Structure 1
Amino acid sequence: MDDLAQALNLGPRTAARLREVGIETFDQLAEVGAVDAWHRLRFRFGPAVTRTALYALAGALGGYPWQHLPDALKADLDAVAQKGRDAS
């Protein structure tokens, strides 16, 4: 899938931001992974890139709505987001 904006959980704004940080396609997002993509977005756009964005990226890659992440994955992502927040 080459159109990020058509991916589950990712709209035009997120797709545009991903392109700004060098992630042009869904395949590239899959290669980079949700966590690294989120870190790139946070570095470029700051705290406006929230924990929900991390959930959305992970959900897009996993094929489920961000609101329905498995509990274990959500806990791992929460830890990543907290570290990112503490570093800001």
Structure 2
Amino acid sequence: MDSLQQMPNIGSVLAGRLRRAGVTDSEELRRLGADRAFDRIRAELSEDARTHTLLALEGAIRGTRWTAIPTAEREILVSRVLG
């Protein structure tokens, strides 16, 4: 298993999307941050999957399930990135 898939919230599908977008490992994901990494894969995502994927990336960077991110912080992130 690669370093991306060892992070919470990241399975094989999301790891594949990230790799195709040039995010090859967990350090690169942390360096970019959730919003910039999300922008790289946004076009591959359906409207319905965008919020969940953004939050999954943020949770992965924080080392936690996305559901553990406080609701207020989730709302700010979603509002900032997805408008």
TM range (shorter): 0.7 to 0.9
Unaligned regions of 5+ residues in structure 1, if any? 84-88
Give the AA of the match of 1:67.
T
Unaligned regions of 5+ residues in structure 2, if any? none
Tell me the equivalent position of 1:21.
21
TM-score, scaled relative to structure 2: 0.85
Tell me the equivalent position of 2:52.
52
Matched positions, count: 81
Tell me the equivalent position of 2:34.
34
TM-score, scaled relative to structure 1: 0.81
Query: CA offsets, 1:24-78, max 9 Å, x none?
Result: 00000000000111111103x1436421001100001111111111233202222
Distance in 2 between residues matched to 1:80 and 1:6, nearest whole Å: 27
Deviates more, 1:48-57 or 1:19-28: 48-57
**What's the RMSD between the two structures over aligned residues?**
1.6
- The runs of at least 4 consecutive aligned structure 1 residues that moved more than 2 Å come to 46-49, 80-83
